[in-house]
């Protein structure tokens, strides 16, 4: 009975205790709901944001020259060894020149012979040219003379034919005149005969009348005289006819002679013309023959050109041998240091086998690989700071001088080269380097701690605590950031307090209590920010 009462009492006590605790917790929650939340704030500050690219690289010489001879031969001189300094143009090694020197002397004799043959040919060139061109000029003059004679002959032929034909025309005129005179004479004879017949009839009639006694004797004598006059006139007319006939015969003879002279002139003129043309043809043939001798000039000129080419070829071969003699001296092409030696005196050197390696290290390269995301920011001309593990405490400043525009297909990284001054010869090819390149600098930026920037449906915002500890949400535009802070491009001014940590969500317009965990506590995980 007693244990049952004890148990019941214990249960009642427990129930009373829990009820009291529940009432106390309820009151505590009500008190906490009315109490302003406790927050940690930080002022927006101004500072420079700097982003760097950090990479590792290897030192390389800008010029790494492997010196090899241009000719094959016995190596008779080589003193330089690894680490020895050399200058550009300095003789570092020498090939035995004896054989090439012998060839040079032989080639000099060949050049002299070629020059002698050319000089001999040049001595006879001018006389040959003068003789050829003199003959051409003479035959050309003869051709011109023959053409002039032919032209003159043709002109004379035309003149002579015209003169002969003029004589024929003149004879024809005289013939026509004689024929006309014959006609006139015949007409005169007929007139005289008619007058004679009339006078004879009149005489007979008068004589008959006289016989009959009708007329006087004087009338008969007059009639008889008229007959005699008519007879004499008839005789004169007949004489004129004979004279006209003689003139006609003479004119015909003259015309025939003139016509024969025309034929003779034409025949002789054509013969003279043919002869003159033949002389022109002969002179033209002689001129062409003389002109064909120009081939001798061209052949002579070609021979001289060939002899000149022989001289040029011999001289070129001599220069080639002299160049080979110069090539027996192996010179450094750069200022630097010997970094490798591949042969020793007494060995046979050849163009395929280097003898020495020389590197110039006054200015050196540090080659670094850059990730894709930095390839647009790490550009030619930017300043880079370089540290070497082998040179602790020293920082070297150089400039990016080369950027490979193509990425390595395997690593997807871009190679850049930083050029450093190495006038003190402290940096050696092959050394390990750490390279830092500033890629972004935002001066006088307004920044807040990274945890102050919250994100909601409308975008990024911060909670600003103003006068009376009243909190307000404010939309901002965040920019770049660094390890601890983020840049606020607009929406916030330097010196304004922003909430970085709160025990419970802060509502817009809510009064808050400033205090709570500091940024150092947040980093240690002692606080919690809720949005």
Q: Count CB neighbours of 459 within 10 A.
A: 10
pLDDT in the model for residue 78: 93
pLDDT in the model for residue 27: 56
**In this structure, what token pair is assigned to residue 287?**
């001129």
Q: What is the DSSP string of 110-176?
A: HHHHHHHHHHHHHHHHHHHHHHHHHHHHHHHHHHHHHHHHHHHHHHHHHHHHHHHHHHHHHHHHHHH
Given pLDDT bands bounded at 50, 70 and 90, which one contains residue 494?
Answer: very high
**In this structure, what token pair is assigned to residue 31?**
């008190």
pLDDT in the model for residue 347: 92
Q: What is the mean pLDDT of residues 351-364?
A: 92
Asked, for residue 238, whether it belongs to a domain, the answer is yes
Per-residue pLDDT tens digits for 91-144: 999 999 998 989 999 999 999 998 898 888 887 766 666 666 677 777 778 778
First-to-last alpha carbon distance for the chain, in angstroms, is: 59
pLDDT in the model for residue 377: 85
Run of H or E residues at 46: strand 45-60
Q: What is the number of structural domains in the chain?
A: 1
Return the CATH number at 107: 1.10.287.620
Run of H or E residues at 268: helix 217-292
Token match 């009642």: residue? 12
Spatial distance between the Cα atoms of 187 and 193, rounded to a whole number of angstroms = 10
Q: What is the mean pLDDT of residues 339-348?
A: 92
Token match 């040029």: residue? 312
pLDDT in the model for residue 182: 84
Given pLDDT bands bounded at 50, 70 and 90, which one contains residue 146?
Answer: confident
Asked, for residue 72, whether it belongs to a domain, the answer is no
Per-residue pLDDT tens digits for 217-233: 887 788 888 888 888 88
pLDDT in the model for residue 520: 38
pLDDT in the model for residue 120: 84
pLDDT in the model for residue 526: 35
Q: Is the pLDDT of residue 42 over 90?
A: yes
Candidates 139, 132, 140; CA nearest to 299 is 132
Residues ≥6 apart with Cβ < 8 Å to 95? 69, 71, 73, 74, 75, 76, 327, 328, 329, 330, 349
Asked, for residue 82, whether it belongs to a domain, the answer is no
Asked, for residue 178, whether it belongs to a domain, the answer is yes
Spatial distance between the Cα atoms of 322 and 310, rounded to a whole number of angstroms = 18
Asked, for residue 203, whether it belongs to a domain, the answer is yes
- Alpha-carbon dihedral 130, 135, 141, 146, rounded to 10 degrees: 180
Say if residues 364 and 429 touch (Cβ distance below 8 Å).
yes
Percent of the chain with pLDDT over 70: 87
Asked, for residue 243, whether it belongs to a domain, the answer is yes
pLDDT in the model for residue 523: 36
Q: Is the pLDDT of residue 1 over 60?
A: no
Asked, for residue 170, whether it belongs to a domain, the answer is yes
Per-residue pLDDT tens digits for 150-181: 888 888 878 878 887 787 888 788 878 888 88
Q: Using a CB cutoff of 8 Å and minimum separation of 24, what contacts does 320-327 make?
A: 321/100, 321/103, 321/104, 321/107, 322/104, 324/70, 324/71, 324/100, 325/97, 325/100, 325/101, 325/104, 327/69, 327/70, 327/71, 327/95
Asked, for residue 425, whether it belongs to a domain, the answer is no
With 0.85 as the threshold, say if the pTM is over it: no
Q: Which domain holds residue 108?
A: 100-298
CA 438 to chain centre: 44
Per-residue pLDDT tens digits for 294-338: 655 666 678 888 888 988 998 999 899 888 888 899 999 999 899
Q: Is the pLDDT of residue 196 over 50?
A: yes
Adjacency order of strands within the sheet including 329-331: 329-331, 91-95, 73-78, 348-349
Spatial distance between the Cα atoms of 151 and 273, rounded to a whole number of angstroms = 8
In angstroms, the Cα distances linking 35 to 31, 260, 264, 505 are: 6, 166, 162, 13
Q: What is the mean pLDDT of residues 284-293?
A: 70
């Amino acid at each position: 009975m007693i244990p049952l009462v004890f148990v019941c009492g214990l249960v009642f006590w427990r129930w009373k205790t829990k009820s009291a605790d529940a009432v106390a917790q309820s009151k505590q929650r009500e008190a906490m709901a009315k109490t302003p939340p406790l927050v940690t704030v930080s002022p927006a500050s101004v500072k420079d944001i700097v982003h760097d690219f950090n990479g590792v690289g290897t030192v390389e010489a800008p010029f790494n020259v492997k010196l090899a001879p241009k000719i094959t031969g016995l190596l008779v001189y080589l003193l330089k060894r690894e680490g020895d300094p050399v200058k550009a143009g300095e003789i570092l090694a020498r090939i035995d020149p004896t054989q090439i020197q012998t060839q040079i002397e032989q080639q000099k004799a060949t050049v002299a012979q070629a020059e002698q043959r050319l000089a001999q040919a040049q001595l006879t060139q001018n006389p040959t040219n003068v003789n050829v061109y003199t003959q051409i000029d003479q035959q050309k003059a003869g051709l011109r003379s023959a053409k002039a004679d032919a032209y003159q002959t043709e002109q004379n032929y035309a003149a002579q034919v015209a003169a002969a034909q003029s004589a024929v025309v003149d004879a024809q005129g005289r013939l026509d005149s004689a024929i006309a005179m014959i006609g006139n004479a015949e007409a005169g004879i007929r007139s005289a005969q008619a007058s004679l017949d009339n006078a004879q009839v009149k005489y007979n009639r008068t004589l008959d009348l006289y016989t009959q006694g009708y007329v006087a004797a004087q009338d008969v004598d007059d009639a008889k005289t008229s007959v005699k006059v008519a007879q004499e006139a008839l005789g004169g007319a007949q004489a004129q006819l004979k004279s006209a006939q003689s003139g006609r015969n003479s004119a015909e003879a003259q015309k025939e002679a003139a016509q024969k002279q025309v034929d003779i002139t034409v025949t002789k003129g054509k013969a003279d013309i043919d002869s003159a043309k033949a002389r022109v043809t002969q002179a033209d043939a002689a001129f062409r023959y003389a002109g064909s001798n120009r081939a001798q000039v061209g052949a002579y000129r070609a021979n001289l050109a060939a002899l000149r080419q022989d001289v040029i070829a011999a001289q070129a071969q001599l220069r080639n041998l002299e160049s080979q003699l110069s090539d027996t001296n192996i010179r450094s092409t750069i200022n630097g240091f010997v970094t490798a030696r591949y042969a020793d005196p007494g060995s046979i050197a050849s163009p395929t086998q280097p003898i020495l390696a020389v590197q110039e290290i006054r200015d050196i390269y540090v080659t670094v690989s850059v990730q894709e995301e930095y390839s647009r920011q790490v550009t030619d001309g930017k300043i880079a700071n370089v540290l070497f593990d082998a040179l602790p405490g020293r920082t070297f400043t150089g400039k990016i001088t080369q950027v490979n525009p193509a990425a390595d297909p395997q690593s997807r990284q871009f190679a850049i080269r930083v050029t450093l001054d190495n006038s003190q010869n402290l940096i050696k090819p092959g050394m390990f380097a750490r390279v830092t390149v500033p890629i972004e600098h935002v001066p006088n930026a307004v920044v807040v701690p990274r945890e102050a920037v919250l994100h909601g449906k409308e975008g990024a915002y911060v909670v600003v605590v103003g006068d009376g500890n009243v909190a307000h949400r404010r939309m901002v535009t965040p920019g770049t950031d660094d390890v601890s802070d983020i840049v606020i491009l607009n929406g916030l001014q330097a010196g304004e307090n922003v909430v970085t940590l709160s025990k419970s969500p802060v509502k817009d317009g809510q009064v808050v209590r400033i205090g709570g965990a500091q940024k150092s506590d947040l980093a240690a995980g002692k606080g919690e920010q809720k949005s």
